[in-house]
A = this chain, B = another copy of it.
């Protein structure tokens, strides 16, 4: 009759608790935003106590950071998997763009990565995370496509501006706008960059 909870190694305990917290936090952050989400609620949803939360994360912001990092890495992986080495730079760009939109169509991602993230962690840190997780590929692609035509500074700026458009498109689509026009405009723009 006694509910002897299965014996778990510390490693397992940590992994499971952290996962549960990150998953529950993600859901609540998406639903109500960072500030409107309380640590008691997160703990409740993850079926642990606040003590566990504060044992594994320095504070609420640190937990948020973990959520963002996980989300960001997922997106980066999905983009990377969509492209292969035997594509032309343009093909890779186009495929990457599609993969990005696909990845960002997962519920809550635009909100987390493009709205809450910059507000809570700051635009500068979010930009760094972006670069580490996928944004660099965009710059690489541009570099190939514009070899010799532009200096590196301009290419960096262009990559930044381009990714701003991708982000805005993802947000608009998430907000209910028709995806067609946005995707068309983006595709045309990429193509025009090649000439």
Contacts and interface: CB of A to CB of B under 8 A. Distances in A.
Contacts of A45: none
A33 interface: yes
Tell me whether chain A's interface is mostly helix, strand or loop, or mixed: helix
Nearest to A117: B119
A19 interface: no
A119 to B, nearest CB: 3
A56 interface: no
Interface in A150-191: 153-154, 156-158, 160-161, 163-165, 167-169, 171-172, 175, 177-178, 180-182, 184-186
B169 A161 contact: yes
B171 A123 contact: yes
A157 B170 CA distance: 12
Nearest to A35: B35
Given A123-B115, A123-B171, A172-B160, A181 B165 contact: no
Interface in A127-169: 127, 153-154, 156-158, 160-161, 163-165, 167-169
Contact of A164 (B33, B111, B168): B168
A95 to B, nearest CB: 20
A165 B120 CA distance: 22
A127 B165 CA distance: 15
Interface centre among A35, A153, A157, A186 (most CB of B within 10 A): A157
